[in-house]
Amino acid sequence: MKTLEKIEVDALVVGSGIAGLQSALDLADQGYTVAIVEKNPSIGGKMISLSKVFPTLDCASCITTPRMASVSHHPRIQALTYSTVDGIKREGKTFTASVTRKPRYIDEKECISCKRCEEVCPVYLPDEYEQGMGAKKTISIPFTNAIPQYPVMHPEHCIRCGACARACPKDCLEFLQEPAPVEIKAKAVILATGYETTPMTAKKQYGMGALPNVISPMAAERLLAPHGPYGRVLRPSDGMVPGSIAYVQCAGSRDKSIGIPYCSRVCCMYAIKQAILLSGSLPIADITIYYMDIRAFGKGYEQFYNNARAMGINFVKAKVARITEDDKHNPIVRIEKQEGTSAPEEVKHELVVLSQGLVPACDGTKFNLGVGNNDFGFVQLSDETSSSAVTAGTGVFAAGTVKGPRDIPDSVVDAGAAAMEAAAYIRRL
Amino acid sequence: MDEKVKEEASKDNYRQEPKVGVYVCHCGGNISDIIDVKAVAAALAKYPGVTVAREYAFMCSSNGQDLITEDIKTLGVNRTVVAACSPSLHELTFRGVLQRAGVNPYLHEHVNIREQASWVHKLDKAGATAKAIKLAQAGVEKVLRKDALNAIRVAAEQRVAVIGGGAAGMKAALAAAGKGLEAVILEKTPRLGGKLPELGKMYPSGEEGAAVAKKLEDLVLAEKKITVHTGAEIDFVSGFVGNFKINFKKPDGSSAQVKAGAIVMATGYEHYKPYKGEFGYGEDGTVLTLPAFTALMKKLPAGRLEYGGREIKSLTLIHCVGSRQVEGVHKPQADGKINDYCSRVCCTAALHAANQLKEKYPGVRVYDVYRDIRAYGMKHEEYYDKASKDGVLFMRHNELDQPVVVSDRTGHTVKVKDVLTWGEELEFKTDLLVLVTGMTPADISLIKSQLKLPSGADRFLQEVHPKLRPVELANSGIFVAGAAQYPMDSTEVMASAGTAAAKAAILLAEPDIPLEPFVAVVDEHKCTGCGLCPPECSYDGALMMGEHNGKKVAVVNPALCKGCGACVAVCPTRAINVAGWTLEQFDAMVDAIAKE
């Protein structure tokens, strides 16, 4: 192990999605020093991989990249990427976090992000950033606007051919690099660890992820994104342009059978948004949204929903009982309509998106700082009518979807409030 | 000048030989799918004065910004044109790049080839490309004529004025005080708490609204940095960021003034008031709004539900009254507009009320007539579940098939075309009708007109951008907290108010605030003192007649001037220019665009 790197700051922010970035900026802009720890190789969280965002249809990059750039240029913010928080201890008024920087197998001080290593690497891997639809090299920069622009090498896939090391003009490949320990001392902690989507395998009636043309909404985001895996919307099984696309709402929310009884708040809106974007890129495609209730409750959302209906997107109040496929991998959706007719119907589509819900990405209680969870594993507020960010752990605050599903505007507002609670707490110390 | 304005704007031209860098952004396809960005960059590379022209996927990303920094360092670029999205999104981003690289940030010109070219000419790619080239060339001509400017710095009052003493106002004041700022709450009613005390039992915490109000009020009153003025009637609000003045009348009739560096608008909402005859409202006493019903339920004894001297055996909730209105179906509001927005909190509030009713009076039949049940919050779905289990009968109608209520002395007959029973026309009798009313913004027309605050089509205060600047109004130094912006529940109000306080604290983190230097500048030699311009100025005290070397001339107060240019337009001698937007620059831009 390398020698221990020590960092001392006012606040530690765990997670660098939009909530973590915003909390860090709102603290640093008030004069506090902040360290962000992010487990992925780039800051930006889930939002940076989205296509466009409702209800304004700004491209997600246009909103996220400047936030990422502000964080990376901020004199009072340090972001530790590709690093994990292994534990946090409270000692008096100070938190001490033990953090591990995972090895990228390059010398970050020397790397000039020229991508030569990536160009010459002969081993391709499925690209998780593209939801497995594209390929990346075993040594590669995670995505176009990643911050920092360092490549990451995956030793488990490396064939030790040495091509990257020979191509590197700065001789910065370090095949023997080891994890590096970091100790961060902070006065307050903000948990902004975000969410994951309910897994494709959550519901056996919906194909368990085995039907190639039944995809996740994150995959649909990548298909629609400007730098997506195919550069256009194609279905995975055969690369056909889908002429009929269906959204299955509440596929992982409001469903006691999978232990997720709550509403995930964002799925109605992202489905409507994707439907609008799809009708832009595939003008002749039929797009159907099977739903229970359309929950367009935010500012400008109802109008957004009305626009989608005016564009000809087909909203059908129906519960989807089962999804199978025909011999051409066309998904067959068995629905029970709750309007019009009562008999169950089977409808053939060419691509189906499961509007998955949101589940916690990280257990907020694992650091044993007194933070409590609600029944569904999200961080519980200690008094929700007097603060939106104070947890039961003294000095520990929560921002964004770590407390439960919420959309981007709500997360940004929420993160500012978490920063303010942390600032007040630090001042009182 | 009692505003202690420090005018640092240097009138020196930027003396170095101009070297313009032009950067054309793909905006990840938003621009490059329509516009041939390579052609734009190539055309600009040949344009006089341009040192380098490049194109890149996302100029706003860190990599894109680094391209500019690199050109500044290696090629000596000292003026930039970025042809990309709207300047409202990213002009500041690129000014920041110049500043970090040691170039005056105002030597940047942001050309909008997305909203003004690629998005509006989707079917004419060649035309859009030609237009983008022209716009970028005009940008080059403008930036070549730009002067280095410095932000105007204004000393700021280290105090936040919070207008409204409800949940949002109290939280905003508490959060600001928590950061060490002084906060003053101005509340028009005689007490703090706003609408909280009327709310009854709140979801999902189960606390009584009055108890929440008391809890927050106790915190406010215990905080030494917060001053509370209840019964304060605001007369006049003036000033600008860092130096607002709020004049108000105290309950005893005396006048007082609060000076503040920032204002938080926490002016809240009103319950939608149904018009007379809307589902029978106002015609007899057995049509209530949900808030009225909640207040009533608190008072009535358990056992038998009696109202108006009659036993209530059945009750019907009708959702979306005053919300999600549809053109041609609903009667427009006083301003001619319909309330086409969702009021967000009423579905769960209605379910919560139905559950409480069922608990207290299990024998009462409850019908719930809705369009979509929007129980979106973490535990809200449980209310829906409980109501279904307890026998609340749900009927769902389409927006075009509004329920019809016919009332007589025996009660109400409700007709619903119910999609859940496949379009069956259902008709049933009910004793009491509860209209689930939405929220409308509180009447703040006086402050809105005096401070020229923006509101959206929904009449709520309008933020600059829902994700980039979600609690900032376009007026610098004024923030919005709580339901003055949009309907929200109490925890969401806490978040919104906390963030509004955070933005105020960031603004006031330094003792003086930088203001944009885009203000009117008078050339005293050209000014003839004709006096035509002051009457055109909309900002009190920004432009007045004064003296310069014994000559009568127009004089600008840069802290008050908003750079609107009204004075420029009337000046017969072209003696006034707005810094950064001069007539010479416009002439050159027009020439560049009109050139064959």
Cα(A42)–Cα(A149) distance, rounded to whole angstroms?
8
Cα(A301)–Cα(B467) distance, rounded to whole angstroms?
14
CATH number of the domain enclosing B97: 3.40.50
**Is B488 part of a structural domain of the chain?**
yes
> Is residue B1 over pLDDT 50?
no
Q: Are A399 and A188 in contact (CB under 8 A)?
A: no
> Is residue A359 over pLDDT 50?
yes
Q: Are B261 and B477 in contact (CB under 8 A)?
A: yes
Would you give the DSSP letter of residue B291? H
Range of the domain at B479: 159-268+442-509
| Tokens encoding B31 | 């621009």
Residues B123 and B190 in one domain: no
Chain A residue with Cα closest to B346: A297
The half-sphere exposure of A409 on its side-chain side, counting CA atoms within 13 A, is 27
* pLDDT computed for residue B4 by the predictor: 32
Please give the single-letter amino acid code of residue A328: K
Would you give the DSSP letter of residue A75? T
Q: What percent of chain A has pLDDT over 90?
A: 91
* pLDDT computed for residue B183 by the predictor: 98
Residues A284 and A411 in one domain: no
Would you give the DSSP letter of residue A359? E
Please give the single-letter amino acid code of residue B508: L
Residues B523 and B500 in one domain: no
Would you give the DSSP letter of residue A298? S
If one counts every other C-beta atom within 10 angstroms of the C-beta of residue B446, the result is 13
Residues B262 and B279 in one domain: no
* CA A255 to the chain's CA centroid: 22
* pLDDT computed for residue B6 by the predictor: 31
Cα–Cα nearest to A403, from A388, A417, A392: A388
**Cα–Cα separations (whole angstroms), residue B526 to A115, B523, B549:** 58, 6, 13
Cβ-based neighbours of B405, under 8 Å, separated by 6 or more: B279, B280, B287, B318, B412, B413, B414, B415, B433
> Is residue B7 over pLDDT 70?
no
Please give the single-letter amino acid code of residue A95: F
Chain B residue with Cα closest to A421: B175
Residues A324 and A309 in one domain: yes
Q: Are B171 and B494 in contact (CB under 8 A)?
A: yes
Distance from CA of A210 to the nearest CA of B (A): 30
Structural domain total, chain B:
4
* CA B222 to the chain's CA centroid: 31
Cα(A47)–Cα(A64) distance, rounded to whole angstroms?
7
Contact A29 B506 (CB under 8 A): yes
- Of B461, B490, B509, the last residue of a domain is B509
**Chain B interface, mutation test: which of A388, A403, A410, A429, most B Cβ atoms within 10 Å?**
A388
Residues B543 and B483 in one domain: no
Cα(B157)–Cα(B292) distance, rounded to whole angstroms?
42
Least confident interval from B413-417, B431-435, B457-461, B538-542 = B538-542
- Of A177, A207, A225, the last residue of a domain is A177
Give residue B14's pLDDT band: very low, low, confident or very high (50, 70, 90): very low
> What is the enclosing helix (H) or strand (E) of B37?
helix B37-45
Least confident interval from A74-83, A268-277, A340-349, B585-594 = A340-349
If one counts every other C-beta atom within 10 angstroms of the C-beta of residue A76, the result is 16
Residues B300 and B415 in one domain: yes
Residues A340 and A374 in one domain: no
Mean pLDDT of B405-410: 90
Residues A30 and A162 in one domain: no
* pLDDT computed for residue A342 by the predictor: 72
Residues B475 and B348 in one domain: no
Range of the domain at A136: 103-177
Grouping H, G, I as helix, E, B as strand and the rest as coil, residue A88 is strand
Chain A residue with Cα closest to B419: A339
> Is residue B217 over pLDDT 80?
yes
Name the one residue in this structure whose structure tokens are 């903000």: A190
Cα(B30)–Cα(B14) distance, rounded to whole angstroms?
35
Residues B99 and B247 in one domain: no
If one counts every other C-beta atom within 10 angstroms of the C-beta of residue B13, the result is 10
**Is B514 part of a structural domain of the chain?**
no
* CA A79 to the chain's CA centroid: 18
Contact B496 A294 (CB under 8 A): no
Give residue B15's pLDDT band: very low, low, confident or very high (50, 70, 90): low
Please give the single-letter amino acid code of residue A406: R
* pLDDT computed for residue A2 by the predictor: 67
**Chain B interface, mutation test: which of A258, A301, A385, A403, most B Cβ atoms within 10 Å?**
A385
| Tokens encoding B144 | 């070549």
Residues A365 and A354 in one domain: no
If one counts every other C-beta atom within 10 angstroms of the C-beta of residue B221, the result is 12
CATH number of the domain enclosing B550: 3.30.70.20
Residues B337 and B284 in one domain: yes
Contact A293 B215 (CB under 8 A): no
Query: Which among A384, A415, A420 is the nearest to B491, CB-wise?
Result: A384
Q: Are A191 and A364 in contact (CB under 8 A)?
A: yes
* pLDDT computed for residue A3 by the predictor: 85
Residues A148 and A123 in one domain: yes
Contact A295 B90 (CB under 8 A): no
Give residue B12's pLDDT band: very low, low, confident or very high (50, 70, 90): very low
- Of A341, A358, A375, the last residue of a domain is A358
Residues A283 and A134 in one domain: no
Would you give the DSSP letter of residue B196? G
Mean pLDDT of B431-436: 96
Q: What percent of chain B has pLDDT over 70?
A: 97
How much is the pTM? 0.91
- As a whole number, the mean pLDDT across chain B is 93
Contact A299 B61 (CB under 8 A): no
* pLDDT computed for residue A213 by the predictor: 96
Cβ-based neighbours of A175, under 8 Å, separated by 6 or more: A105, A155, A160, A165
Grouping H, G, I as helix, E, B as strand and the rest as coil, residue B464 is coil
| Tokens encoding B159 | 């105090």
> What is the enclosing helix (H) or strand (E) of A310?
helix A301-310
**Is B586 part of a structural domain of the chain?**
no
The half-sphere exposure of A265 on its side-chain side, counting CA atoms within 13 A, is 21
Residues A96 and A109 in one domain: no
* pLDDT computed for residue A1 by the predictor: 54
Contact A56 B340 (CB under 8 A): no
Cα(A232)–Cα(A239) distance, rounded to whole angstroms?
10
Q: Using an 8 Å CB-CB cutoff, list chain B residues near A342.
A: 422
Cα(B535)–Cα(A75) distance, rounded to whole angstroms?
46
Q: Peptide bond before B204: cis, by omega within 30 degrees of 0?
A: yes
Distance from CA of B201 to the nearest CA of A (A): 12
Grouping H, G, I as helix, E, B as strand and the rest as coil, residue A301 is helix
**Chain B interface, mutation test: which of A76, A413, A428, most B Cβ atoms within 10 Å?**
A413
Q: Are A131 and A218 in contact (CB under 8 A)?
A: yes
Give residue B5's pLDDT band: very low, low, confident or very high (50, 70, 90): very low
Chain A residue with Cα closest to B100: A73
Each residue of A164-183: pLDDT tens digit? 999 999 999 999 999 999 99
Query: Which among B376, B471, B509 is the nearest to A295, CB-wise?
Result: B376
Give residue B101's pLDDT band: very low, low, confident or very high (50, 70, 90): very high
Residues A125 and A63 in one domain: no
* pLDDT computed for residue A51 by the predictor: 95
Contact B498 A416 (CB under 8 A): yes
**Chain A interface, mutation test: which of B27, B30, B62, most A Cβ atoms within 10 Å?**
B62
Residues A115 and A85 in one domain: no
Q: Peptide bond before A331: cis, by omega within 30 degrees of 0?
A: no
Structural domain total, chain A:
3
> What is the enclosing helix (H) or strand (E) of B245?
strand B243-249
* pLDDT computed for residue A59 by the predictor: 87
Chain A residue with Cα closest to B377: A263
Q: Can you give B368-422 as a three-state secondary structure string?
A: EEECCCCCCCCCHHHHHHHHHHCCCEEEECCCCCCCEEEEECCEEEEEEEEHHHC
Residues B356 and B289 in one domain: yes
Mean pLDDT of B579-586: 95
Each residue of B323-373: pLDDT tens digit? 999 999 999 998 899 999 999 999 999 999 999 999 999 999 999 999 999
* pLDDT computed for residue B422 by the predictor: 84
With left for phi above 0 and alpha for psi between -120 and 50, is residue A383 left, alpha or beta? Answer: beta
Residues A343 and A212 in one domain: yes
**Is B588 part of a structural domain of the chain?**
no
Distance from CA of B222 to the nearest CA of A (A): 15
Cα(A191)–Cα(A13) distance, rounded to whole angstroms?
6
Q: Using an 8 Å CB-CB cutoff, list chain A residues near B101.
A: none
Cα–Cα nearest to B376, from A386, A270, A317, A293: A293
Task: Please tell me which residue, A156 or A341, carries the higher pLDDT value.
Answer: A156
Grouping H, G, I as helix, E, B as strand and the rest as coil, residue A271 is helix
> Is residue B9 over pLDDT 70?
no
If one counts every other C-beta atom within 10 angstroms of the C-beta of residue B457, the result is 13
Grouping H, G, I as helix, E, B as strand and the rest as coil, residue B354 is helix
Cα–Cα nearest to B167, from B493, B486, B440: B493
**Is B584 part of a structural domain of the chain?**
no
**Cα–Cα separations (whole angstroms), residue B257 to B165, B185, B229, B236, B245:** 17, 12, 11, 9, 7
Q: Give the orientation angle of helix B62-74 with respect to helix B87-100, to 10 degrees.
A: 40
Name the one residue in this structure whose structure tokens are 């703040």: B444
Residues B3 and B117 in one domain: yes
Query: What DSSP line would sit under A19-73, residue for residue?
Result: HHHHHHHHHHTTT--EEEE-SSSSSSTTGGG-SEETTTTEEHHHHHHHHHHHHHH
* pLDDT computed for residue A105 by the predictor: 97
* pLDDT computed for residue A54 by the predictor: 96
Cα(B593)–Cα(B526) distance, rounded to whole angstroms?
29
Each residue of B167-207: pLDDT tens digit? 999 999 999 999 999 999 999 999 999 999 988 889 888 99
Cα(A9)–Cα(A6) distance, rounded to whole angstroms?
10
- Of A358, A382, A416, the last residue of a domain is A358
Grouping H, G, I as helix, E, B as strand and the rest as coil, residue A139 is strand
Mean pLDDT of B152-166: 95
> Is residue B88 over pLDDT 90?
no
* pLDDT computed for residue B28 by the predictor: 79
Residues A25 and A145 in one domain: no
Each residue of A87-112: pLDDT tens digit? 999 999 999 999 999 999 999 999 98
Q: Are B406 and B379 in contact (CB under 8 A)?
A: no
Give residue A161's pLDDT band: very low, low, confident or very high (50, 70, 90): very high
Name the one residue in this structure whose structure tokens are 């923030």: B479
* pLDDT computed for residue B134 by the predictor: 97
> Is residue A69 over pLDDT 80?
yes
Give residue A282's pLDDT band: very low, low, confident or very high (50, 70, 90): very high
CATH number of the domain enclosing B450: 3.50.50.60
Each residue of A1-42: pLDDT tens digit? 568 999 999 999 999 999 999 999 999 999 999 999 999 999
* pLDDT computed for residue B320 by the predictor: 97
Cα(B300)–Cα(B311) distance, rounded to whole angstroms?
12
Q: Are A52 and A60 in contact (CB under 8 A)?
A: yes
| Tokens encoding B55 | 């194109």
CATH number of the domain enclosing A149: 3.30.70
Query: What DSSP line would sit under B112-181, residue for residue?
Result: E-IIIIITT-TT-HHHHHHHHHHHHHHHHHHHHTPPP---EEEE--SEEEEE--SHHHHHHHHHHHHTT-
Q: Using an 8 Å CB-CB cutoff, list chain B residues near A225.
A: 28
Cα–Cα nearest to B163, from B439, B438, B440, B443: B443
> Is residue B72 over pLDDT 70?
yes
**Is B176 part of a structural domain of the chain?**
yes
Contact B62 A147 (CB under 8 A): yes
Contact A56 B205 (CB under 8 A): no
CATH number of the domain enclosing A261: 3.50.50.60
* pLDDT computed for residue B8 by the predictor: 34
Would you give the DSSP letter of residue B327? T
Residues B324 and B419 in one domain: yes
